[in-house]
Structure formats: C-alpha cells, structure tokens
Structure 1
Amino acid sequence: MIRVLLADDHELVRSGFSLMLTVEENVEVVGQVANGKDAVAHVLDSPVDVVLMDVQMPVMDGIEATRLITEATDTKVIILTTFDRDDYLFDALRAGASGFLLKNASPEDLVAAVHAVVDGHALLAPEATLRVVQQLTQYDAARAPQEATVDAHGGTAASSTEAPQRTGEQQRIIDSLTAREREVLTLAAEGLSNGEICDKLVVGQATVKTHISNVLAKVGARDRVQAVVFAHRSGMVS
C-alpha cells in the first residue's frame, strides 16, 4: 500500500482528494492535517510514502514543510496549489518536492502523480521542465565571470559572458554513462516523456525506466528534473 498524507488548510479540499485516492486499491490516506507544522510532525512520528502538500497554510507554509520533510526522511512530496506561479514551482523544487500539480488536475492525474513519485520520477510536464532548465541555465550564465582576453599586442578584448567549460567531474559522469544512457538522458532533456523516448528508440517502457534509473544513480540526481538540469549545465544539450 502507498501511504498518503494530505496537508491542506481547507477541509473540503482534503475530503475531495481523499475520495479521489481511496478508490485506488493500493493507495491509503493515512492522515489529514491543516498546516505544514503538523505535516512535518506527522511524517516524523508516522512515516508515509507521499505527502500531498498545499503551499499557503497557517503556522508553517508548504514550502518550508517540504524542506524539513525531505531533509529528514525519504518521503516524497507533491505540491498542490491553485496558482500556476513560477516562484512556487522553483521554491518547491529547491525545497525537495518531487512533483508539482495544480489543484484542478483530474483524479487520474492525481493518482498517476502519486504512483510516479513513489517510482522515483519527478512529476513535471515537459513545459514545466523546460521552464526550470531555462531559469537555471540563465542563472548559470549570469554567474559566469566576466573574463577579459588579451590580444597578441597586449590589448584587452571584449569580455566574455559565455557559460563555464564542462568541469572534470561533469566529464567523468558523462564518461560513466553508456551510449544508450546518454541518448536517453539527451532525449529526456529535450522534453520527451518516457513513452516518447520508447517510440523514438523503439524499445519498451521497462527498458527506458531502467536506463533512467541508471542515469539518476550515475549523475547523483534525486529525480528526473535534476538529471535534465545536469544535461543542460554540462553541455550535453544546449
């Protein structure tokens, strides 16, 4: 059974999510809380597999609760919010959330999200993944030092704002990947889902999942999003 905790300050919302999930044979809603502090306390006292976490709650918000939970346990957190805001998305990912959904998602999407994060996947649509990568790569470019180059006559040429060269550690990780694993990671970084990767490479779902799992282990990524960010930062995908 997949044990789920619901954290939302609206009882009707919790009741609705509970009804959606309890129809599933292998999903059990083991608790409901109305704020982030109680969510943290519940997880530390009675471990669960997944927390469905609201963002705006009294006492402690969902982002801080997510950070505390993911730092102390292996519990997966899915952020659920009524607001499609980039700051919520990025704050949630930085806090360690494995998924990000809007509350108007269908029951099928909600159930699929729970199963996905338990299986070790990050729940982000390709569009959301690309938003994350775009923001992080823009940040990397902004951090890159202004390096002045000296021409043959000793003059200073225009400074460069290009992203840093691939590091030795990044190269070591890439070298550790098999050719097929590099191919799968590249396609994932381009926004393809597992199903689309299957069609592209003419292989089965189980094969793609195995390659993704191997990539996560070698890259040292918690989930698919971190692996995709690695692919962009290391220059595997531009």
Structure 2
Amino acid sequence: MRQRYRIIIIDDDPITRMDLVEMLQEQGYNVVADGKNGEEAVALTQLWDPHLIIMDVKMPVMDGLTATGIIRGQSDASILLLTAYSHKDVVAKAKTKGVCAFLVKPVMEEEFLPAVETLLLEKQHTLEK
C-alpha cells in the first residue's frame, strides 16, 4: 500500500536527506527522488508527479517557499515543509503558499512518520473521490 505513493525529499543537507529517505524506506514508502534545492524540487515534481514532497525551507538557489509557490501552479502534491524556524511569519507565509503541514527541525521519527502517514491518507481520500 505505501509503495503506491511517490515521495520526493528536498533538503540541501545530504545527511538530512539520507536520514529521511532511510526512515521512509524502512517503513515501506517509495522515495522516488531527492534533491538539494527548490529548483530541483520543481524539476523533480514535473518528472515524477509525486503524491508527497518533503522540503526544507532555507536552501540555496531557490528556497522551499518559493518552490512551493511554483509547484502549486503545476501539482496537487501534498507538501510537508521542514524548517529550523518556527517563527509566525514563516508559518503564515507557508500557509499562503499551499503548504499542507510543517515540522520543526531536527525532525524526530516519532513526529515525522505520523505526519507523512496523515498527509498520504488525506491524499488517498482525495484520489478516491
């Protein structure tokens, strides 16, 4: 069941990407691609048409909020934003860009996996309608 969903991980820190991919794959999720900046997020979204994009906010080349704004014009993928900043302005801007949920770094498995599962369940309900 979990394998049917396509997930993309976007974070400029390769260790964070590796950890997230490993956590998801250990639970049977299908991580189809990963990238290091928002520009890659946009390109990978066009290539893979993911169900879920897990993306950092602060990255070089293009940040996660800018990428989310572009992706929203092309895809209905759920977007889980990862941020080291829990400032109200970041949260408010994330909402206007179409972010579905966010987690504050460092990401803990006991928070991360339920968030992923919830977003994919919501996606499943949308697909079934």
Q: TM-score, normalised by structure 1?
A: 0.49
How many residue pairs get matched?
A: 123
Q: TM-score, normalised by structure 2?
A: 0.87
Matched, 1:50 2:24: no
Deviations 1:132-187 (A, max 9, x none): xxxxxxxxxxxxxxxxxxxxxxxxxxxxxxxxxxxxxxxxxxxxxxxxxxxxxxxx
CA RMSD across the alignment: 1.9
> Equivalents in 1 of 2:100, 2:118: separation in Å?
9
Q: Which runs of 5+ in 1 are unaligned?
A: 122-209, 214-238
Residue 152 (structure 1) aligns with: none
| Greater RCO, CA 8 A, separation 6+ | 2
Matched, 1:95 2:97: yes
Map 1:137-176 to 2 at 5 A. Answer: none
Larger strand proportion of the pair: 2
Q: Which runs of 5+ in 2 are unaligned?
A: none
> Equivalents in 2 of 1:54, 1:6: separation in Å?
9
Residue 89 of structure 1, CA deviation:
0.8
Residue 74 of structure 1, CA deviation:
1.2
Aligned identity (percent) is 30
Residue 72 (structure 2) aligns with: 70
Residue 3 of structure 1, CA deviation:
1.6
Residue 124 (structure 1) aligns with: none
Verify the 8 A CA contact 1:55 1:63 in the aligned structure 2: yes
Residue 13 (structure 2) aligns with: 10
Give the alignment partner of residue 110 of structure 1, picking from 112, 118, 121.
112
Matched, 1:80 2:82: yes
Residue 103 of structure 1, CA deviation:
1.9
> Equivalents in 2 of 1:94, 1:72: separation in Å?
16
Give the alignment partner of residue 19 of structure 1, picking from 19, 22, 34.
22
Residues 9 and 105 of structure 1, relative CA distance in 2, 3 Å threshold? closer
> Equivalents in 2 of 1:35, 1:75: separation in Å?
17
